[in-house]
Structure 1
Amino acid sequence: MGRRSSTVIFWLTTALVISSNASPILGSSKSDLLDLLNSNLKSLPSGLKSLFLPEALLPFSPGSSSRCKVYPGDKNWPSDEAWNKLNELTGDRLLSKPEPQGSICYPGAHFDAAKCANITAVWSRSYTHMDDPIEMFTPVAQGMTCMPPNVFDSGNCTRGGFPLYVLNATKPEHVQLGVNFARNTGVRLVVKNTGHDFLGKSGGQDALSIWTHWFKDIDYIENYVDKRLGYSGPAFKAGVGVQAFEIYKAAREKLKVVVGGEGETVGIFGGYIQGGGHSPLSSLYGTGADQVLAYEVVTADGEFVTASSTSNPDLFWAMRGGGGSTFGVATSVVVKAHPEMPTTASRFTFTSANIGNETFWAGIRSYVDYFVPNADAGTYAYFTLIPNVYTGIFTFNMSPFFAPGKSLNETKALLQPWFTRLNDLGIHFDPNITHFDSFYDAWRSSFPLEVVEKVNATTGSRMFPRANFQTEKKREELYQNLRQSSESNRVQVHFNIKAVDPANADNAVNSAWRSNILFAQQAVRWPVNATAAEILRIRKEFQTGDMQRWRDISPGSGGYLAEADRLEPNFGQAFWGNKYPRLLLLKKKWDPKNVFYAVTSVGSEGWRVESVDGLPNENGKLCRVA
């Protein structure tokens, strides 16, 4: 390495010129990695220099044929000096062994009974976890090793599936250094934004995590023009750490809306938008990924590039729906902005307690008849079916029926046919139909804060296309399957929604979204004190039973990759349909050394986490499938 140092310096200087050809979006940000390395190269010990270089500047080809990623105790695990240098180069932004929040509840140096009581009281709130560098909203995927005992008593507190190091990135060069370090050492790399994910994709035992949560810049663009995409109009450029409550507020100030999730703490410019992303506005404008006009992204070889219709268009295609933590690490996104609009919403509930189960289910059956006209009208209905195994009572919650762009009278007219049938059945409820002057006000007032950190459940999902509603027979078949799931004690969350295909958008979004009318989820639960063997049996039976019933009546459709079960069979077809072969080819092109991995992501079938208890979680080494 030493005799090639002068050559490397030359390469670095040359690359500073070359990199300008891949100009960042709007020229408003750039990577200073090469300047940083130029200024620090001489001070680096010769044995460490290669750990931080992008692949194009390496005097060797990185990569390993070893079965597993590199872990503590392995001979190739980076030295403390190497980790310290990564911290120094990133401006002291490397967090070493961040403690799980639950550690304050267990004997040891971090024990604090008062703080434990305080955090236990708000443990199920997303705001408790969204700013934490390691916490995932799905502890089942982490391994359940350090929860507050009053939530789940793990007996002690271990790191489980949490990363060992976290790079608190706020600049593209921080991301580049993290990617280069992971690629050149063989350490497992994960990417985390807020931790919103049903599958636990932001975790990984003893991994290096790139934490993108604090990329928070928001810029408004009065007129963004992309002739190839056929778009000319307003847009926002946002850092990938921007969350729904932040971009919706910023858009409101410009009298605009953007397509994002209903959950207020979702980081919608990270994994959400890269995985497709359904929205209260999808029946009008399509998925979140359909809104993307350009990305700034760090690729697996350590380059900082623009992905757009004219720059790296194949990467642009893949990252609009192909999933996060797969093709690169986005740092910012440019998305379409749409006009602010008045919105009407309705929230109500009814149960079988006073009317009996048959009348209750007759009310649900009558609703199924209106899924197609409601979705075609541009509305978004978010409702749940909750069984109570102890009382035998079923509960329906509409929270809410959301009608963007609709007046009070228009919304009443849409709902009245169904409401008339409910009234005829003797089902009494208060529809609470409320009109708001803006989407923002309606969104803030209508959607509940999501409950997180569920300790004994997992969720599967399915998209039911228009074909499931075209005849009385097909609607009855769907209804009977939904009822059977409730009677099997499955909590169900549903979205009556379609995802229009704006201007025939060509991207990696699952084609099943385009014909979707009902995006349906059901959750399986197990006893809190169940053994690993019992949990695995219950989870497998859920997939071969209740979930397979849903697949059988919706052949050729799929599920949603961000709200799904890690055990989803044939996930490539389920999450991407006929686009999966192309995505596999692009994965091999843009990440041939498998720097990026997330469970059920494109190309992940070649790897698996060998968890310590045999359950599908991140508490184990990531290794190649034999």
Structure 2
Amino acid sequence: MQPLIFLLLALTLCVNAANSTNCRCFPGDPCWPSFQDWADFNTTVGGKLISTVPIGSVCHTRGDSSAYNEHACANLIADWGFPATHYTTFASPMASWFANFSCDPFMPRDSPCTITSLQRYTVNVSGVQDVRKTIQFAREHNIRLVIRNTGHDYLGKSTAPGGLALWMHHLKDTKFLDYSSDSYSGPALRLGAGVQGFEGMAAAHAQNKVILAGNCESVGIAGGYSQGGGHGQLASRFGLAADQVLEWEVVTADGQHLIASPEKYSDLFWALSGGGGGTFAVVMSVTVKPHPEVSTASANLTFSGACVSADVFWNIIRNFVVDIAPLVDTGAVAIWAVIGKTFTLTPISWPGGTAEQLQNGLASTLALLEQNKINYAYHIQQFPTFWDTYAAMNPHSNITEAQVGGRLMPRSVLESTPSSLITALRGIAELGVVVSGVSLNVSRSPVPYNAVNPAWRDAAISVVLGTGYNYTNREENVKCQSLMTDVLIPPLTAISPNSGAYLNEADWKQPDWQKTFYGSHYSALEEIKRKFDPDEMFYARTAVGSEAWTEQSDGRLCRA
């Protein structure tokens, strides 16, 4: 019997060892680095290692991370909706779903404050060596590694339970260049990985130029925004943010410091330009094409359907969506939403267009409002520059606490069966769901050499849906998430079966996400992922290659 016992023990140890290699090392595991290991690593990165303390700790009296302060807690709750509350920290995800109530300021103060849903440590990156050393440490200790910038992230790609984060937020350098390559010669703007929309636009404006940036001015430009495609109010005139990229400065999983362009490491350049962030390499900077400033016409419109029938209300919306198509095809972008019985246009901007042309394009919608005696708020103006338009007409964006889902609506739907789209959107809105749309046309010829989902080139509207978020009831949020996946998105998919979704504004539980987010490019992207990250150091939810992993209920990342 004794040999059998030893044999069983040996087999158990072998199985445990095998299982341990299938998962990233997690806090509490024997493989987790000691305090001294972390201290030594901190020395190698010049003291830039930060131990996670959730910002909600000031609202709790229990738990390892609790640090209750009544005044600080009140201020935190008051400022919670402002993006700066989160992007100035290294740990707080703006999509609270992914914090999983681990240290929620809205929960009772005697509920425990833990860090189970967040990364344990973060390196505040200031240069290439910080990235190299962090990747090496994560590799040596088999730790989950994530890349984080501002935290604007509906899909939890920059959240790593029990992991280690590279915080790129303070790489703020901007530099104008006279750029020359086989594919482009002219002015260029190099942006550090941490440069946000308002900063990049200001740098461009100082040179009487414009660049692509998001409608939310605090979103980082070089991160998941441009790497995932990136739309904005200049997209119909110039294309997506990924279309503007001239080169990427990166650190690869094996520590190489490379410049990827159409001429050199062209496959990596192609993948980074639209193939999604957080999975191919760590971006240190991006160089983009700026464009000359341009006079811009812009308008805002708000009206309510409370005093008319739902049929009348939705017929006006249908008229608006269809009738602005010619404006969109000549360079305009419209950002609109339906919340309950209220429609808002905030704004429609037409770089290169005139207020008179814009007024003519909106005339039929305004006429319907007048005919149905619907009061509305409306403002239209010609601005000397896009910069002025953006400052005056684009509302400041707060964080979106919602379960998000999306779909790209092809032009064929708008042209041939617009009623099917409106019927679907109406049914969704009448369930109490926020319906928003960005009407645009990014099909400019020639189509740039990049990995942007081909569905973008045929899209007339990027539709994004949002269900409610409950700060104190996880079960309600689970129901809302299931509603998005099982009920809300399918009708939109049914009328656009060959289209896809914008991978940055979509349901993180989207079935068949590989095809939906990446289209026909996915297999090529997988090959590039294997080439530049063969050991799968970089993981992000729904990013290329992520299906090889699964996240356990405690946040542990294991091979599928």
Partner of residue 556, structure 1: 498
Q: CA deviation at 1:585?
A: 1.0
Write the letter of the residue equivalent to 1:234: P
Q: Is the 8 A contact 2:246 2:289 kept in 1?
A: yes
Partner of 1:219, secondary structure, is: strand
Rounded Cα–Cα distance in structure 1 between residues aligned with 2:113 and 2:492 = 38
Partner of residue 514, structure 2: 572
| 1:463 partnered with 2:405 | no
Rounded Cα–Cα distance in structure 2 between residues aligned with 1:529 and 1:407 = 48
Write the letter of the residue equivalent to 2:278: S
Match of 1:325 among 243, 265, 278: 278
| 1:119 partnered with 2:76 | yes
1:341-368 CA-partner distances (Å, limit 9, x unpaired): 1112111211122334332222112213
Partner of residue 136, structure 1: 93
Q: Is the 8 A contact 1:363 1:427 kept in 2?
A: no
Match of 2:25 among 70, 84, 87: 70
Which runs of 4 or more aligned residues in structure 1 lie more than 4 Å from their structure 2 counterparts after TM superposition? 526-531
Q: CA deviation at 1:516?
A: 0.7
TM-score, normalised on structure 1?
0.83
Bigger mean CA offset, 246-255 vs 138-147: 138-147
Q: Is the 8 A contact 1:282 1:500 kept in 2?
A: no
Partner of 1:110, secondary structure, is: coil
1:473-502 CA-partner distances (Å, limit 9, x unpaired): x01111111111111111111111121345
Q: Is the 8 A contact 2:135 2:253 kept in 1?
A: yes
Gap runs ≥5 in structure 1:
1-62, 388-393, 613-619
Partner of 2:334, secondary structure, is: strand
Gap runs ≥5 in structure 2:
1-17
Q: How does 1:313-462 map to 2 (within 5 A)?
A: 313-387=266-340, 394-452=341-399, 454=401, 457-462=402-407
Rounded Cα–Cα distance in structure 1 between residues aligned with 2:459 and 2:36 = 53
1:540-595 CA-partner distances (Å, limit 9, x unpaired): 34312221110010011001111111111111101110000100111111111110
Rounded Cα–Cα distance in structure 2 between residues aligned with 1:281 and 1:502 = 16
1:444-464 CA-partner distances (Å, limit 9, x unpaired): 12122222262xx30100000
Rounded Cα–Cα distance in structure 1 between residues aligned with 2:469 and 2:203 = 42
Partner of 2:552, secondary structure, is: strand
| 1:237 partnered with 2:190 | yes
Percent sequence identity over aligned pairs: 36
Q: Is the 8 A contact 2:403 2:484 kept in 1?
A: no
Partner of residue 592, structure 1: 534
Cα RMSD, aligned residues only? 1.9
Q: Is the 8 A contact 2:59 2:68 kept in 1?
A: yes
Q: CA deviation at 1:526?
A: 6.2
Rounded Cα–Cα distance in structure 1 between residues aligned with 2:359 and 2:441 = 20
Q: Is the 8 A contact 2:305 2:313 kept in 1?
A: yes
Q: CA deviation at 1:65?
A: 7.4
| 1:94 partnered with 2:41 | no
Match of 1:511 among 441, 451, 454: 454
Match of 1:476 among 412, 415, 419: 419
Partner of residue 107, structure 1: 61
Bigger mean CA offset, 336-345 vs 540-549: 540-549
Match of 1:608 among 530, 550, 557: 550
Q: CA deviation at 1:429?
A: 1.7
Rounded Cα–Cα distance in structure 2 between residues aligned with 1:503 and 1:218 = 29
Q: Does the C-alpha gap of structure 1 residues 377 and 433 become closer, same or farther in structure 2, counting only changes over 3 Å?
A: same
Q: CA deviation at 1:310?
A: 1.8
Q: CA deviation at 1:243?
A: 0.3
Partner of 1:129, secondary structure, is: helix
Partner of residue 81, structure 1: 36
| 1:272 partnered with 2:219 | no
Rounded Cα–Cα distance in structure 2 between residues aligned with 1:545 and 1:442 = 38
Q: Does the C-alpha gap of structure 1 residues 249 and 544 become closer, same or farther in structure 2, counting only changes over 3 Å?
A: same
Q: CA deviation at 1:88?
A: 1.0
Q: Does the C-alpha gap of structure 1 residues 154 and 315 become closer, same or farther in structure 2, counting only changes over 3 Å?
A: farther
Q: CA deviation at 1:374?
A: 2.5
Q: Is the 8 A contact 2:484 2:507 kept in 1?
A: no
Bigger mean CA offset, 140-149 vs 153-162: 153-162
Q: CA deviation at 1:284?
A: 0.8
TM-score, normalised on structure 2?
0.93
Q: CA deviation at 1:527?
A: 5.6
Partner of residue 238, structure 2: 285
Match of 1:149 among 106, 126, 129: 106
Write the letter of the residue equivalent to 2:547: E
Rounded Cα–Cα distance in structure 1 between residues aligned with 2:110 and 2:382 = 47
Bigger mean CA offset, 352-361 vs 156-165: 352-361
Q: Is the 8 A contact 2:436 2:465 kept in 1?
A: yes
1:248-278 CA-partner distances (Å, limit 9, x unpaired): 1111110000011111110111111111111
Partner of residue 9, structure 2: none
Rounded Cα–Cα distance in structure 1 between residues aligned with 2:197 and 2:57 = 29
Q: CA deviation at 1:417?
A: 2.8
Q: Is the 8 A contact 2:274 2:453 kept in 1?
A: yes
Partner of residue 51, structure 1: none
Partner of 1:492, secondary structure, is: strand
Q: Does the C-alpha gap of structure 1 residues 148 and 537 become closer, same or farther in structure 2, counting only changes over 3 Å?
A: closer
Q: Is the 8 A contact 1:145 1:154 kept in 2?
A: no
Q: Is the 8 A contact 1:69 1:623 kept in 2?
A: yes
Partner of residue 226, structure 1: 181
Partner of 2:388, secondary structure, is: helix
Q: CA deviation at 1:395?
A: 0.6
Match of 1:214 among 131, 152, 170: 170
Rounded Cα–Cα distance in structure 1 between residues aligned with 2:471 and 2:147 = 29
Q: Does the C-alpha gap of structure 1 residues 247 and 531 become closer, same or farther in structure 2, counting only changes over 3 Å?
A: closer
Q: Aligned pairs, how many?
A: 540
